[in-house]
Structure 1
Amino acid sequence: MGFADDHLIPLVDRGLGNSAYLVDLGDGRALAVDAGRDLRALHTAARERGLTVAYAADTHLHADFLSGALQLRHDHGAAVLASAAGHRAFDHQGLADGDEVDLGGLTLRALATPGHTDEHLSFLLLDGDRELGVFTGGSLIVNSAARTDLLGPDRTEELARAQYHSLRRLTELPDETAVWPTHGAGSFCSAPPGKERTSTIGAQKRANPLLAAPDEDTFVRRLTAGLGTYPAYFDRLAEANRRGPAVLTGTPLLPELSAEQVRALTAAGGRVVDARPAVEYAAGHIPGSLSIALRSQFATWLGWLLPDTAPLVFVTGEGQDPGEIVWQAYKIGYERLAGRLAGGMPAWLADGNEQATTAFVSAERAGGRPYVDVRQESEFTAGHVPGALHVELGALDRAAADAPNGAVVACRHGERAMTGAGLLERAGRTGIAVLDGGPADYAAAHGQDLVRGPEDTRP
């Protein structure tokens, strides 16, 4: 078959920063690569083209989302393709370096590219002898390479050296070969994250600073210097994917709960997540609840800040889709979803319950308070308010006892800061406010210049 550009359909999860791919094989069948458990977009694309997914390939044991390969086997009868070295605990076609799968006109060749994980494969898509493109997963990504510290600090350098050789191997492909990575902008698996999602081998040889490293040691230093923190749930999902996620036989639902049921669940150890916009949470919320606004990054912060072992109760606002909450939770393995408060906060108050409020203040009104910046390290060093206390949101719960009372918590817009305020309030900090804006707004309002570079301002 001839392969046209529209035979490849990228499916981008902007919240997790990852791309899955659907390849139209030209005969009503399709190949899916690195599909996540939330298959709504993939099913829609397949249905619109009249495709059945015949093959579901995973480049590696994903740490940031549950694989949808087993679900595609259930839904479409897809053959699951994955590294034999991953020792997956379910039936699949285990592939080793150089193994090929005849897709019916096209061929998929496995290339061992360890580094991001030990068992990592890239998949080279061939039309006869012509290299069309390579699904590089968490190996070569646009202008970077995926991180090598997910198996622990004692393995980071070893895997970085493996990543060096894997990338060199990939650059031996023809320059015109397309590069189709899984990880991209917004992914915590990137090191550091970039903005573009696809490229070519030739473009990467010219533009990727890691490929410009003159030797292996320099490559390792450059790669590991860009490693930031990553969500806590990453430490659980690779093993969950090795075992195989549970197959869903229907769309999971989020039951409605009365205020009385919510009280009972929280008394028994359940956690309340308020998915409304930050401004609505600020105006009134269930005491002890945590604000995680329902947006593309919802799953990341849910998996970073909350255990997967506690029943979760959600508070939603008008027009919010409970199904979006369910899929964002399920794609990272959070299935203990007790339900959502029926009627929202009006029903909570009508039942005679108290609410808490959090001040949401403008930059002009935020002066005179300790300033707590909860952004990532890379954001902080790019520009922060002089004297700001810096604690990444993912670490704030552990540092909350040392944070000052009366602080204004800030990020870039206010969503993460509102989450941080909830963590501080739950830890007993008082007088907490949230900045409606970011450091540039605060600096402009108070006649300051932002500080660039690191600063020892942790509490």
Structure 2
Amino acid sequence: MGFADDHLIPLVDEGLGNSAYLLDLGDGRALAVDASRDLRALHAAARRRGLTVAYAADTHLHADFLSGAVQLAHDHGATVLASATGRRAFPHRGLVDGDEVDLGGLTLRALATPGHTDEHLSYLLLDGDQQLGVFTGGSLIVDSAARTDLLGADRTEELARAQYRSLHRLVALPDATAVWPTHGAGSFCSAPPGAERTTTIAAQKHTNPLLAAPDEDTFVQRLMASLGSCPAYFDLLTEHNRRGPALLVGTPPLPALNATQVKDLLANGSQVVDARPAAEFAAGHIPGAISIPLREQFATWLGWLLPDTAPLVFVTGAGQDLEEIVWQAYKIGYERLAGHLAGGMPAWLEAGGAQATTAFASADQTPDGPYLDVRQEAEYAAGHVPGALHVELGDLADHTDGIPAGAVVACGHGERAMTAASLLERAGHTGVTVLNGGPAEYAAAHGTRLDATEGGER
């Protein structure tokens, strides 16, 4: 078959910052690359084109989401393609460097590109001798390379050096070769994130600062200096993906629970996640609940702040999508979902349940007291309120004792700050105020200017 750009369908998960790809092979079959366990968008795209997924390729053992390859093998009869050195414990076709897969007119060639992980493969797509594009997964990404510290601090430099060699192997491809990475803007696997999701070899030669490094040592220094924090659940998923996620039939249920059932669950170690918008949580919530508003980043903060071992009860507001909660949780391996509070907070209050509130104020209504900034390090470096105490949200639960009383808790808009306030309140803090806004609004309202240094938002 001839290749046209519309044969490749990117499937972007804005919350995790990742892209999967569905390649229409032109004969009713398709190749999926780095598909997530949440296959709703992929299935919809396949249905629109009348496609059956014949191949499901994974570039590496993902740490930030559960792979959908095993599910695609079950649902579509897909052949799973993956590195032979990944020790995957489920049926797959193991590939090593140089192996080729005949896709029926197109060819997929495996390229060993270790760095992000040991067993990382990139996949070069060929039409005869023409090198059309390369699925680079967590190797070469737009204007950067994926992080190399996920296998432990003791291996970070070793893998960074492997990443150097892998990137230089990839940029030896023809300039016109398209580059289709998995990790992109918003992904905590990328270092640092960029705005674009696809690129070309030629563009990366000109714009990727890591490739501008004059030697391997400089490359390693730059890459390692760009590594920020990442969610705690990353430590769990590599092994889950090696074993293969459990198969699912449809959307798993999220049972309706009455107030009495919720109280019983809480008494026996369950945790409450309040998925309503920050303002609704502030107006009234179950004491001890953790605020994680249902938005694109829901899975990231669920996996960063809560264990996967405790049953989870969800509080939702009018019109919120329960199915979205389920898939956000399941795609990162959180399957102990006890249910949702039927009727929401009105039902809880009607049954005599206790309620807590949190101050949520605009910048001109916040006090001049201590200011706690819970954004990522790169965001803080880009501009912060003078004298701010900085603790990243992901680290806050371990540092609540050092937070001063009556603090104004802030992030970029208010969602993460409300999550932080809920963690502080659960630890016994009272009198915190959440800033409904960001540091620029606070500085303007309080007659100061931001301290800006190097960095960018994450």
What TM-score do you get using the length of structure 2 for normalisation? 0.99
Q: How does 1:101-120 map to 2 (within 5 A)?
A: 101-120=101-120
Contact 2:185 2:194 in 1 (8 A): yes
Q: Which runs of 5+ in 1 are unaligned?
A: none
Kindly provide the amino acid, as one letter, of the partner of residue 191 in structure 1: A
Give the distance between the partners of 1:434 and 1:177, measured in 2 at CA: 48
* Deviation, structure 1 residue 197: 0.1
Secondary structure (helix, strand or coil) at the match of 1:398 reads coil
Q: Which residue is equivalent to 2:213?
A: 213
Q: Is 1:82 equivalent to 2:82 in the alignment? A: yes
Kindly provide the amino acid, as one letter, of the partner of residue 26 in structure 1: G
Kindly provide the amino acid, as one letter, of the partner of residue 58 in structure 1: D
Secondary structure (helix, strand or coil) at the match of 2:20 reads strand
Secondary structure (helix, strand or coil) at the match of 2:167 reads helix
**1:297-321 CA distance string (max 9 Å, x none):** 0000000000000000000000001
Contact 1:171 1:205 in 2 (8 A): yes
Q: How does 1:426-445 map to 2 (within 5 A)?
A: 426-445=426-445
Q: Is 1:180 equivalent to 2:151 in the alignment? A: no
Q: How does 1:43-442 map to 2 (within 5 A)?
A: 43-442=43-442
* Deviation, structure 1 residue 250: 2.5
Secondary structure (helix, strand or coil) at the match of 1:364 reads helix
Give the distance between the partners of 1:82 and 1:259, measured in 2 at CA: 47
Give the distance between the partners of 1:205 and 1:454, measured in 2 at CA: 24
Secondary structure (helix, strand or coil) at the match of 1:118 reads coil
**1:346-398 CA distance string (max 9 Å, x none):** 00000011100000011112132210000000000000000000000000000
Contact 2:177 2:201 in 1 (8 A): yes
Give the distance between the partners of 2:450 and 2:298, measured in 1 at CA: 29
Give the distance between the partners of 1:282 and 1:203, measured in 2 at CA: 46
* Deviation, structure 1 residue 251: 1.6
Kindly provide the amino acid, as one letter, of the partner of residue 228 in structure 1: G
Kindly provide the amino acid, as one letter, of the partner of residue 325 in structure 1: I
* Deviation, structure 1 residue 134: 0.1
Give the distance between the partners of 2:220 and 2:316, measured in 1 at CA: 45
Moved over 3 A (4+): none
Give the distance between the partners of 2:366 and 2:283, measured in 1 at CA: 17
**1:274-315 CA distance string (max 9 Å, x none):** 000000000000000000000000000000000000000000
Give the distance between the partners of 2:41 and 2:145, measured in 1 at CA: 26
**1:224-271 CA distance string (max 9 Å, x none):** 110000000000000100010001022211100000000111110000
* Bigger shift: residues 365-374 or 286-295: 365-374
Give the distance between the partners of 1:279 and 1:214, measured in 2 at CA: 50
* Deviation, structure 1 residue 454: 8.2
**1:35-60 CA distance string (max 9 Å, x none):** 00000000000000000000000000
Give the distance between the partners of 2:179 and 2:267, measured in 1 at CA: 51
Contact 2:251 2:327 in 1 (8 A): no
Give the distance between the partners of 1:74 and 1:386, measured in 2 at CA: 55
Secondary structure (helix, strand or coil) at the match of 2:329 reads helix
Contact 1:380 1:454 in 2 (8 A): no
Kindly provide the amino acid, as one letter, of the partner of residue 63 in structure 1: A
RMSD: 0.9
Give the distance between the partners of 1:267 and 1:405, measured in 2 at CA: 28
What TM-score do you get using the length of structure 1 for normalisation? 0.98
CA gap 1:439/1:84 in 2 versus in 1, 3 angstroms: same
Q: Which runs of 5+ in 2 are unaligned?
A: none
* Deviation, structure 1 residue 107: 0.3
Secondary structure (helix, strand or coil) at the match of 2:425 reads helix
Contact 2:34 2:67 in 1 (8 A): yes
Q: Which residue is equivalent to 1:41?
A: 41
* Deviation, structure 1 residue 446: 1.0
Give the distance between the partners of 1:250 and 1:421, measured in 2 at CA: 36
Contact 1:314 1:339 in 2 (8 A): yes
Kindly provide the amino acid, as one letter, of the partner of residue 66 in structure 2: L
Matched-pair identity in %: 79
**1:390-449 CA distance string (max 9 Å, x none):** 000000000011111111100010000000000001111111110010000000001111
Secondary structure (helix, strand or coil) at the match of 2:31 reads strand
Kindly provide the amino acid, as one letter, of the partner of residue 243 in structure 2: R
Contact 1:367 1:446 in 2 (8 A): no
**1:18-77 CA distance string (max 9 Å, x none):** 000000000000000000000000000000000000000000000000000000001100
Kindly provide the amino acid, as one letter, of the partner of residue 322 in structure 1: L
* Bigger shift: residues 243-252 or 446-455: 446-455
**1:60-111 CA distance string (max 9 Å, x none):** 0000000000000011000000000101011100000000000000000000
Give the distance between the partners of 1:385 and 1:96, measured in 2 at CA: 51
Alignment coverage as a number of residue pairs: 455
Give the distance between the partners of 2:259 and 2:240, measured in 1 at CA: 34
Kindly provide the amino acid, as one letter, of the partner of residue 213 in structure 1: A
